[in-house]
Amino acid sequence: MSKIIIYDTTLRDGSQTEGVSYTVADKIKITAKLDELGIHYIEGGWPGSNPKDKEYFDLMKSHKLKNARLAAFGSTRRAGMEARQDTNLNELIAAQTPTITIFGKSWDLHVRDVIKTTLDENLKMIADSIVFLKKHQREVFYDAEHFFDGYKNNPAYALKTILAAQQAKADCIILCDTNGGTLPDEMSKIVKEVKKKIKIPLGIHTHNDQDLAVANSLAAIQAGCVQVQGTFNGLGERCGNADLCTIIAILETKMSKKSIPESKIRNLMDASYYISEVSNYTLSNNHPFVGHSAFAHKGGVHIDAMLKNPKAYEHVKPEIIGNHRRLLTSELAGKMPIVLKAQKMNIPLDKHSPQAKAMMQELQHKEHQGYQFEGADASFELFVKRHLKMYQPFFHLDGFKVYSEKKPDGTVTAGASVHLKVNNHDEMASVEGHGPVEVLDKALRCALSKFYPNLERMHLVDYKVRVLDTKEGTAARVRVLIESQDEGDSWTTVGVHENIIEASWEALVDGIEYKLLKDKK
């Protein structure tokens, strides 16, 4: 079984994503996560381009990686000077990484119109730079920038550029689809033609401007490339780079090609979400392989088939890459999610029973109102238990009041008071704060604190509002989703109403009821 070398450029190409900006600490955290995953090469950045990357490489000199080799990135020497005089090349040496990747021009348009030099001088820039770096005992990868555009425009010259890199003893030549404009059939054809001329290993670096970066990378691998470059979650400038999560998963499950250690494949989802969090870049739920919805099933026919044989609607086992199957609760899903949820709670419930039928009808009614339980498992568990009369509420509301006030000096405050009945005791609490939902939450907790002190270990981590019918304007019904968390768990609850405070109250109460119920188990 052949092995494909994984080269990650999240810290450089990924950092060019609009809205993404890594601190040095962020870069070190991501480096550690990629090394732990078994990525072969981690491109840390361009030490000659900015102080942040220079600091990163200085700090990384004291960090010993267990699995990966660190690479510094830069360009060939500038036109009209010797390689040993080039500041960029000397910064690459000073970074003290075992591997150095440099890029040069393969497209004659760029040589003439962008760096404005002769075609012969560009060939010398490539060769001289590689020779200089090899003299310093570095592994050197040559990125042939815009190679496919260059090859389609002037194949003879594009080939000359990478032959110059081969003659200068580059360790690997990476063919770059920098503009992302190549189609998979073109990719395969060109890589096969190049492979006849080049004797050293070839790599591939693609961009996603046609949503084909993964497809092109795989086509290049099938045509003979042994190294693939990309970023986690497809981060990158414009439409992004080839997504290494998807590529690694496909290599493992579809192509019988090894990449990172097999024991690490199950950590793909964890690494994907970790990098998403550090990048402050939300991963879409329907992201292939690692997204929360990648193995989620909502239609009743699908769910019924999945329970009989998971292969019916899944192309791979989700556990392979660390994901898991989810059977979503909705009006489309039929009674099986209700039955399965009841079974998890040790409640024997037959899908043909009157109880299951009644719950299904109520669920459909609630979803028609705007409730959505597929993303609010805690509220759904409470829905089942309430319907089956499986628990007594921990408190009853006698009423609440919420206000907001803007003062002449521009400050905005909010206040809330709640009146509850807890264990036959009347409890009231009033608080002030910044926002109406915040003070309502605080007042509710304050009234309950002496009865349920464990609520101090619970806090809100996310609050989302969705307008359900924009045609109704400010009178529209809204859906509120609240994520809560304690020291060992997180859960999501939902509320729906024309009044955003009432919708929030429903979700807040469900969150607290769920916490108290699970602590009671």
Half-sphere exposure of 425 (CA within 13 A, CB side): 9
pLDDT at 108 (0 to 100): 95
Residue 481: per-residue pLDDT: 85
From residue 75, alpha-carbon distances to 50, 325, 370 in Å are: 14, 45, 55
| pLDDT tens per residue across span 408-467 | 999 999 999 999 999 889 999 999 999 999 999 999 999 999 999 999 888 887 888 878
Query: How much is the pLDDT for 28?
Result: 94
Say whether pLDDT at 310 is over 80.
no
Distance of alpha carbon 430 from alpha carbon 443, whole angstroms: 6
Identity of the residue numbered 360 = M
User: Please, which residues bridge with residue 227 across strands?
Assistant: 5, 203
Q: Exposure of 177 by Cβ count < 10 A (0-12 exposed, 13-18 middle, 19+ buried)?
A: buried
pLDDT (0 to 100) of residue 338: 67
In 3D space, the residue among 486, 438, 444, 442 whose CA is nearest the CA of residue 463 turns out to be 438
Q: 26 and 278 in contact (C-beta within 8 Å)? A: yes
Which of these ranges, 28-32, 77-81, 290-294, has the smallest mean pLDDT?
290-294
Angle, helices 184-195 vs 213-223, to 10°: value is: 30
- pLDDT of amino acid 331: 44
What is the rounded CA–CA span in Å between residue 52 and residue 32? 18
The residue to which tokens 């919420």 are assigned: 402
Angle of helix 244-253 relative to helix 268-279, nearest 10 degrees, comes to: 180
For 191, residues 6+ apart whose C-beta sits below 8 A from its C-beta are 175, 202, 204, 219, 220, 223, 224, 225
Which has the closest alpha carbon to 297: 322, 276, 323?
323
CB 7 within 8 A of CB 203: yes
Q: What is the pLDDT of residue 264?
A: 94
Amino acid 213: pLDDT: 98
Segment 219-232 mean pLDDT = 98
Residue 268 in contact with residue 38, Cβ under 8 Å? no
pLDDT in the model for residue 130: 98
Confidence at residue 358, expressed as pLDDT on a 0 to 100 scale: 79
Print the SS3 string covering 66-96.
CCCEEEEEEECCCCCCCHHHCHHHHHHHHCC
Cα–Cα distance measured from residue 7 to residue 260, given in angstroms and rounded to the nearest whole number? 11
- Report pLDDT for 337: 60
Report DSSP state, residue 374. Answer: T
Question: pLDDT-derived band of residue 296, with 50, 70 and 90 as boundaries?
Answer: confident
Helices (H) and strands (E) in the chain, counts: 17, 16
pLDDT of residue 492: 83
Q: Does the pLDDT value for residue 241 go beyond 90? A: yes
pLDDT tens across 182-202, in order? 999 999 999 999 999 999 999
For residue 214, how far is the Cα from the chain centroid?
A: 16
In sign, the C-alpha dihedral spanning 366, 368, 369, 372 is: positive
Percent of the chain clearing pLDDT 70 (strictly above): 90
Give the up-direction half-sphere exposure of residue 483: CA atoms within 13 A in the CB hemisphere. 7
Query: Quick check: 328 pLDDT over 60?
Result: no
Task: Retrieve residue 315's tokens.
Answer: 């192309």
| pLDDT for the residue 369 | 79
Q: What is the pTM of this model?
A: 0.70
* pLDDT value, residue 520: 80
When the pLDDT of each residue in the chain is averaged and rounded to a whole number, the result is 89
Please measure the distance between the N-terminal and C-terminal CA atoms of the chain and give it in whole angstroms.
50
224 and 257 Cβ atoms separated by less than 8 Å: no
Convert the pLDDT of each residue in 115-135 to its tens digit.
Answer: 999 999 999 999 999 999 999
Domain coordinates in residue numbering, the chain? 5-279, 296-369, 395-451
Burial of 494 (0-12, 13-18, 19+ CB in 10 A): buried
pLDDT band at 65 (very low <50, low <70, confident <90, very high): very high
**pLDDT of amino acid 273:** 79
Per residue in 15-39, pLDDT tens?
999 989 999 989 999 999 999 999 9
CATH class (in words) of the domain with range 296-369: few secondary structures
Residue 143 has pLDDT above 50, yes or no: yes
Residue keyed to tokens 């030099």: 117
Q: Is residue 72 a contact partner of residue 97, using CB atoms and an 8 Å limit?
A: yes
pLDDT value of position 295: 76
User: Is residue 238 over pLDDT 90?
Assistant: yes
The closest alpha carbon to 163, from 136, 202, 190, belongs to: 202
Please give the pLDDT value at position 332: 41
Q: What is the pLDDT of residue 333?
A: 46
CA-nearest of 302, 455, 462, 303 to 375 is 462
Q: What is the pLDDT of residues 82-91, one digit of tens each?
A: 999 999 999 9
Residue 19 gets which letter from DSSP? Answer: T
> Is the CB of residue 444 less than 8 Å from the CB of residue 482?
no
Written out in words, the top-level CATH class of the domain with range 5-279 is: alpha beta
CA dihedral 56, 60, 65, 69 (to 10 degrees): 70
| pLDDT of 4 higher than 80 | yes
3-state secondary structure at position 351: coil
Position 427 scores a pLDDT of 93
- DSSP run (H or E) holding 247: helix 244-253
